[in-house]
Amino acid sequence: MNRNLNRRDFLRLAGAGAATAVLSGCTARVHTAPEDLATHSRSNTAKKPNFIIIFCDDLGYGDLGCFGSKKHRTPNIDRMAAEGMRLTSFYVTSGVCTPSRASLMTGCYPRRVNMHEDSRGEWVLFPVAKKGLNPDEITIAELLKRRGYAMACIGKWHLGDQVEFLPTRQGFDYYYGIPYSNDMGSEQRSANPPLPLLRNEKVIEAPVNQNTITQRYTHEAIRFIDANKDRPFFLYLPQTMPHDPHHSSENFRGKSANGPYGDAVEEIDFSTGEILKALKKLNLDGRTLVVFTSDNGASGNYAGSNAPLSGNKGSTWEGGMRVPCIARWPGRIPAGKTCDELASTIDLLPTFAGLAGTRPPTDRIIDGKDIRPLLAGEKGAKSPHEAFYYYYRQQLQAVRSGRWKLRLALKRKTGRRKGEPDHAPPFLYDLTIDIAETKNVADAHPDVVGRLTALAEKAREDLGDINRPGKNQRPAGFVANPKPLILSKQHD
């Protein structure tokens, strides 16, 4: 990466000025002397930013105080939002864990990397799965590792439980966590092995004591940050909570106004506060981008909230795939701003690549886009996506472009509202005035329906649809003889 590009990157991210200009957001005043820019540019080259992604499991759009929750006390995350930016049209690419996580790791739609469902007909991977994220994919971790980053994944992986697919084989130096969902142990499903906790590639506890899992992830995360304070690092912290069954440690159990679910959310808030405190103490605030978000919407079966959105986890309604997102980087991301432009987890790979002075892979299609202009609060910055696609398993069910969302004409196997006909005609919603998708305006906007229908057809050709392979899909990884992850007596 040459100096010109770094200088341009800096200008773009910092809104062409120093911290004062960034803080003034859309009305950035340019007053930085050229030599200052050169200094910044050099230091930017020398000191690559750290990245932290806190990725909750099944946390809904309306579950945080800063996103409207009246039930949960989330003072630390609310402060994070006040010091950073709320992204209010931030999407995951699937309503469930495995496909959503495949996208975060690869910057691609799940169908692109063939992780949209398991080979056994399940939507997500279950223990002892033959399938996993193909080791030939270049993960966000591998990309940053090549730039000299220290890498840790602490938490739920869910992209394959065979050794070939574990985080340690996908770019992370260190792994600590439960490798799949916390309801997949023998306690809930007797055919499965007891729920394992791994350190790197070894099971160190089974079944894992889930009461202390958020606490232990937090300690591990802070230990990793502390050990790598003098070099660039990437910490991926996919929390096991608040996925069912809901657990929390003694200080939080029974303390929220929303049962075990609320307790788990409030402990995640505490955990986030501890991590931000550690950054401040180590003087890393100014060079660490922290992103807090969720892997999909809240389930309709428990106490989570996707308000004011319709639908739940697993659906292609906004409540299934639009998630709360906060990005914080003091001095670089304007404080207290809200960005309502469409962005997605697939954008994090190209964005982080740019910030680390590299590029996304060029030998394959990457669906994500660089969203640095949005994060910098640049005046007039627009979503880089002409269209965003909502897939349910194999099926393309909706497309969004700008303010419009079209639910496609299809034989709906699921995601159907009560009373909705089996062969529903296309429904068009204007999300800027109808975020809850209640008023079909298709008849008034046939031109928009036509344009979005054409975009959907482009996706079908490229990524595929039910019983229709896409032209540009890549294979997932497979092993012939998967083995269960069980406690070994020889572990250390």
CA distance 145 to 409: 44
CB of 96 to Mg ion, least distance (A): 6
Q: And the tokens for 386?
A: 């002409």
Is the CB of 155 or the CB of 470 nearer to Mg ion?
Answer: 155
Instruction: Select the span of 52-60, 153-161, 252-260, 413-421 touching Mg ion (CB under 5 A).
Output: 52-60
Cα distances (angstroms) measured from residue 492 to each of 155, 199, 203, 229, 309:
20, 10, 10, 26, 47
CB of 266 to Mg ion, least distance (A): 19
Phi-psi group of 336: left, alpha or beta (phi > 0 → left; psi -120 to 50 → alpha; rest → beta): left
Q: Report the DSSP beta bridge partners of residue 325.
A: 87
Contact between 244 and Mg ion per CB under 5 A: no
Contact between 57 and Mg ion per CB under 5 A: yes
Residues that are catalytic: 97, 158
Contact between 295 and Mg ion per CB under 5 A: yes
Q: Name every residue whose Cβ is closer than 8 Å to that of residue 130 and which is 6 or more positions away in sequence.
A: 119, 162, 478, 479, 480, 482
CA distance 396 to 392: 6
Length of the chain counted residue by residue: 492
CB of 159 to Mg ion, least distance (A): 13
Strand 174-177, strand 150-154: pairing:
parallel
Name the strand (E) or helix (H) holding 375. helix 372-375
Strand 337-339, strand 90-91: pairing:
unpaired
Contact between 268 and Mg ion per CB under 5 A: no
CB of 100 to Mg ion, least distance (A): 7
CB of 309 to Mg ion, least distance (A): 16
Instruction: Select the span of 6-14, 49-57, 346-354, 439-447 touching Mg ion (CB under 5 A).
Output: 49-57
CB of 477 to Mg ion, least distance (A): 21
Q: And the tokens for 151?
A: 């890498």
Percentages of the chain per state (helix, strand, coil), in multiples of 5: 30, 15, 50
Is the CB of 92 or the CB of 476 nearer to Mg ion?
Answer: 92
Q: Count residues binding Mg ion (CB under 5 A).
A: 5
**DSSP class per residue in 295-340:** SSPPPTTSS---TTS---TTSSSHHHHB--EEEE-TTTS-TTEEE-
CA terminus-to-terminus distance, the chain: 42
Q: Report the DSSP beta bridge partners of residue 42.
A: none
Per-residue DSSP letter, 465 = E
Name the strand (E) or helix (H) holding 261. helix 259-281
CB of 488 to Mg ion, least distance (A): 28
Instruction: Select the span of 67-75, 153-161, 296-304, 476-484 touching Mg ion (CB under 5 A).
Output: 296-304
Contact between 58 and Mg ion per CB under 5 A: yes
Instruction: Select the span of 16-24, 32-40, 58-66, 483-491 touching Mg ion (CB under 5 A).
Output: 58-66
Instruction: Select the span of 69-77, 103-111, 288-296, 386-394 touching Mg ion (CB under 5 A).
Output: 288-296
Per-residue DSSP letter, 295 = S
- CA 467 to centroid of chain Cα atoms: 28
CB of 99 to Mg ion, least distance (A): 10
Fill in the amino acid letter for 151: M
Q: What residue is closest to Mg ion based on CB? A: 97
Is the CB of 59 or the CB of 85 nearer to Mg ion?
Answer: 59
Per-residue DSSP letter, 323 = -
Is the CB of 41 or the CB of 296 nearer to Mg ion?
Answer: 296
Is the CB of 267 or the CB of 378 nearer to Mg ion?
Answer: 267
Instruction: Select the span of 37-45, 55-63, 327-335, 417-425 touching Mg ion (CB under 5 A).
Output: 55-63
Residue selected from 296, 299, 344, 397 as contacting Mg ion according to rule CB under 5 A: 296
The interface with Mg ion within residues 196-215 (CB under 5 A) comprises none
Q: And the tokens for 342?
A: 């469409």
CA distance 409 to 211: 45
The interface with Mg ion within residues 60-119 (CB under 5 A) comprises 97
Contact between 59 and Mg ion per CB under 5 A: no
Is the CB of 89 or the CB of 296 nearer to Mg ion?
Answer: 296
Contact between 323 and Mg ion per CB under 5 A: no
Binding site for Mg ion (CB under 5 A): 57-58, 97, 295-296
